[in-house]
Amino acid sequence: MESNQATPESLRETSALNWGALGLTGIWLLRNGFLFSLVLYLVALRYFWPAAILISFLFFFKGSAWSWGNGRRWKDIEEFADSQYFFNFIGKILLGFQLAFAIAALYLWLTPAPTH
């Protein structure tokens, strides 16, 4: 069977949201063979960060399908699913830390400084 042939299992795996691509965009792009996208992401991160956030969300929604079809070549759907599972797990943890940090920073920014 061709490695990237559409099967019900591959369609289910590739239609899922990709938390790893959202939380670990740079590393995920490198690991999945999107080198040109990685360069664009790093340039956007340096010079225009809102574009980097858009790239992260783009790969969050479409990254699994693109990785299965166009990125790194996978031996089979199990190898693909294992790799994506690992990135999704770590991505969710890092997003949780990022969200907690953002909430704490917002709280500290909005809390008035004590006056003596």
Rounded to the nearest 5 degrees, what angle is found at the Cα of 39, between the Cα atoms of 33 and 41? 100
Domain residue spans of the chain? 8-110
Residue 8 has pLDDT above 80, yes or no: no
What's residue 1's pLDDT? 43
Instruction: Note the pTM of the prediction, 2 decimals.
Output: 0.78
What's residue 36's pLDDT? 94
Check if the beta carbon of residue 98 is closer than 8 Å to that of residue 30: no
From residue 21, alpha-carbon distances to 43, 101, 105, 113 in Å are 17, 20, 24, 38
Check if the beta carbon of residue 95 is closer than 8 Å to that of residue 22: yes
Question: Per residue in 30-75, pLDDT tens?
Answer: 988 899 999 999 999 999 999 999 999 999 999 988 888 875 678 8
Q: What share of the chain is helix, strand, coil (3-state, %, to 5)?
A: 75, 0, 25
Instruction: Output the six-digit token pair for 7.
Output: 């099967």
d(CA 3, CA 50): 36
Question: Per residue in 95-116, pLDDT tens?
Answer: 999 999 999 999 999 998 888 7
